[in-house]
Chain A
Amino acid sequence: MDFLSLFENDFLGIIPESFIAFAACLLLVYGVNVPTHPSNALVVNVGWLSILTLGTTILLLVTGPIHEMVFFYNCLKIDSFSLFLQVIILLSVISVILLSLDYLVREGIHSFEYMVLILLSSCSMILMVSSYDLIGIYLTIEFQSLAFYVVAASKQDSEFSTEAGLKYFVLGAFASGILLFGCTLIYGFTGLTNLEDLGQLLTGIGSLPVISSSGLLVGILFLCVGFLFKLTAAPFHMWAPDVYQGAPTSVTAFFAICPKLAILGLFAKILLFTFYDLLNSWQSILLLCSLASMCVGAFGALGQTDIKRLLAYSSIGHIGYLLIGLACGTVDGLQSMLVYMVIYMTMSLTTFGVVLSIRTKDGQAVKTIQDLAGLASSNPALAITLSLTMFSMAGIPPLAGFMSKFYLFFAALSASLYPLAIVGVLTSVVSSFYYIRFIKIMYFDKSEQNLQFESLDASKAWVISITLAVTVFLAAYPAPIFLITEKLALGFCI
């Protein structure tokens, strides 16, 4: 039998992913063979090459010959949903690399493997959102996590970074085990791993009076727990603040933005595409996790003084809001979740960009919120940027953050999830306390040590200005993003 004919056109569908993998291997060879000197930071060089690679990948994705196909023996599926997610994931990775180039040089993280690992993990993320099988999902998640553990510990001379890496490794491996256990149970009780086959098998099962196999439900529960762990949703969030605080700030920015887009997209695909007929079973899990995440995000952040820790709690809260959209299980819910994802990405990019570019007089990176005191006088532009972003995160009307939250709560109300909407509004009121505290410290607090004025490097300045422009002016012309997300959400109904 000529097996080549099985996969005749399949490689056309995977051109972007294989391009990233090959480019990562090439960059690895390049980095090993170029002589390194302490003065010549190879990480910047490889970083720019990685940006080039990722940009080319976006072009390959958008102009690819095939836009809708199931291939590699039902292992992968590309469609408009996965294309959208892949493009925003790659854009966010590019932005994070642009933000972190200057930081890496200053903090003395010179190893070029950092960039290779980020490249490989972005390869895993874009494979993840197009996975079509439980085995593929587990493998891509493991691929991504393994790269993350190493990147979290990449600052070798810092104990915090090593601790973060180790903690992330142990807890992440635990979560992967739970995820795999869930997949095994689902396979054991249905004999299927393919997402479409599972969806077909479970069609109409919700209308039966008794769901015969409780093992399947336990499998889905374990699967959800694994995903929620990776998403840092509330009962499974305890690793996030420590890891976010300990890892280098550029890595924190990467962790807070990119993997969440990928894993949440995949989670939505599994729940809404495969297990939609078991909506009643998983809706309550998501509902509880969403409520808990919003509360933890709002109240946990109140007492924090460390900026990165605070941002970690803030991201837990945002995950809670995002899960509202998923818990609705409606077209509106999915659409509002996608809109929120994009806006969360831009707001976080601005925040981390500002945090990465503020330094004290002795050249140290800022650690606590009090270090921001006097920023309004030393660098007014950055202060205004940060204030606008914080207002947006808190959900003050004309900004993008308000729009996304409004739309999300509206979707929750129309799906009769009143507790989620009410708690969401209340916690966003509570969380605006610590967002606005940033502004109070920057503008009104006297500082003992003055911050130094530094002009930003061009790459960071571009990213910050573009994302800020999106945050501020999205309300003026929101049509494109709403149209795209509407189309994607409707794609699930077909």
Chain B
Amino acid sequence: MNITRLVSGLMCKTHVTYRIIAVYYSLALKRTLIYSINESNEYVIKSKLEIYIMSVEQVLFFLFSSLALVCSTMVISSRNPVYSVLFLILVFVNASGLLLLLGLDFFAMLFLVVYIGAIAVLFLFVVMMLNIKITELTENTLRYLPIGGLIGFIFIIEVLLVVDQDLIPNLQFNPEIGFSLLQSVGVWVEFYFNSLISLITFKISPSDIADHSAQLSNLIGELNSLQASYYQETYNQPQWVDWGKLVGTLSPIEAVGQLIYTYYFYYFILASLILLVAMIGAIMLTLHKTRSVRRQDPSSQNAREFSKTVLKVRHTNGN
């Protein structure tokens, strides 16, 4: 298939740092070759409708993740601690929405039950019982911004240095349309971003960037010109089948059950022992066996003679 040959040829030519981008395009091209099987066992090319559904998922993903980010910012910046807890609940809801998008329905429910049903409600109780003054929390929030911002900036730079380009997700490439304007902007943003990181780490010199950007624009141009012939070639003959779709899969609950209760039951038992320790610890640290604590003795309570428990006392003094 000459498209992959061309892409790999381009890969050899370009610089190591940008080779990875060529790989992305080869992946993006392959990705559109997925065929699905209909009821009568015929290979059917995925229609435009499914591509549309993909984009709905993307919209949902961006909705949930951006809402989660906004809400988590509100958790630490809102003045009233009760509002903070409510925003925290919203963060959890968004996170469980993200889990649903991944197809982990059981985990999404579990997330809701555990984090909102147990933890957030506990937080809410604590916040309401402590009766924290709203004004106490508002002062001095900006005082730590310079040092905190500096540390955060350093941390972000470190993470960027560590995170390899393997972790950057594939670009969407639709062979029927070619590159959209947004996608080519994305490619260039990615390019300059990577160049900046490489500049910071002294992997390349500034003069290399111009060189590489010329190579990249060449690459994109060739890919775009190939798009038409590729469309002609591949849509007429099915190339390969996504065998992964044909394998029977377990639902998340079944998979979790098999892992936790059968294969890795050792961890489950270990976790139960940890909970036992937590329980013993909580009781040991809070139960004071001193005289001052009033407590009930059930056996003597039951052994009391009920006829003698209520006494009639005549009030003599005063009225």
Q: Do A and B come from one complex?
A: yes
Point out the residues of chain B lying under 8 angstroms from A212, CB to CB: 164
CA distance A72 to B278 in the complex (A): 25
Q: Which residues 240-291 of B have a CB within 8 angstroms of A?
A: 262-267, 270-271, 273-274, 276-278, 280-281, 283-285, 288-289
Please list the residues of chain B having a beta carbon within 8 angstroms of any beta carbon in chain A: 161-164, 166, 262-267, 270-271, 273-274, 276-278, 280-281, 283-285, 288-289
Closest to B159 in A: A218
How far apart are the CA atoms of A76 and B270 in the complex, in Å? 12
B284 touches A146 (CB 8 A): no
Nearest chain A CB to B124 CB, angstrom units = 23
C-alpha gap A117/B278 in the complex (Å): 10
A472 at the interface (CB under 8 A from B): no
CB-CB nearest 3 A-B residue pairs:
A150-B281, A113-B284, A72-B266
State whether A156 touches B285 (Cβ < 8 A). yes
Stretch at the interface among A136-144, A296-304, A319-327, A328-336: A136-144
Per the bound structure, the CA–CA distance linking A136 and B263 in Å amounts to 13
| B274 & A142 in contact (Cβ 8 Å cutoff) | yes
Q: CA separation between A75 and B264, bound complex, in Å?
A: 8
In the complex, which residues of chain A have a beta carbon less than 8 angstroms from the beta carbon of B270?
Answer: 127, 136, 139-140, 143
Find chain B residues with CB under 8 A from A73 CB. 263-264, 266
Q: Which of B162, B265, B274 contacts A139 (CB 8 A)?
A: B274
- Asked if residues B262 and A21 are in contact (CB atoms below 8 Å), the reply is no
Known: A117-B281, A146-B281, A213-B164. A21 touches B267 (CB 8 A): no
- In Å, the complex CA distance between A6 and B276 comes to 27
Q: Cβ of A143 and Cβ of B277 under 8 Å apart?
A: yes
A77 to B283: give the CA distance in the assembly, Å.
34
Interface centre among A110, A146, A153, A214 (most CB of B within 10 A): A146
**Contact in complex: A117, B284 (CB < 8 Å):** yes
Near B by CB (< 8 A), chain A positions 102-144 give 110-111, 113-114, 116-117, 120-121, 123-124, 127, 135-136, 139-140, 142-143
| Inter-subunit contact B266/A147 (CB<8 Å) | no
Q: Are A149 and B274 in contact (CB under 8 A)?
A: no
> Which residues in B have their C-beta under 8 angstroms from that of A21?
273
A477 within 8 A of B: no
Query: Are B288 and A156 interface neighbours, CB within 8 A?
Result: yes
Do A113 and B283 have beta carbons less than 8 Å apart? yes
A158 at interface (Cβ–Cβ under 8 A)? no
Distance of A452 Cα from B264 Cα, bound (Å):
56
B289 touches A36 (CB 8 A): yes
Which residues in B have their C-beta under 8 angstroms from that of A70?
none
Whether A135 and B267, one on each chain, are in contact in the complex, defined by CB atoms closer than 8 angstroms, is: yes
Q: Once bound together, how far apart are the Cα atoms of A145 and B115, in whole Å?
A: 24
12 examples of A-B residue contacts, CB within 8 angstroms:
A25-B276, A72-B264, A75-B267, A116-B280, A117-B277, A117-B284, A135-B267, A139-B270, A142-B274, A143-B270, A150-B284, A156-B288
Which residue from chain B places its CB closest to the CB of A111 in the assembled complex?
B284
User: Across the interface, which residues of B come within 8 angstroms of A136, CB to CB?
Assistant: 266-267, 270
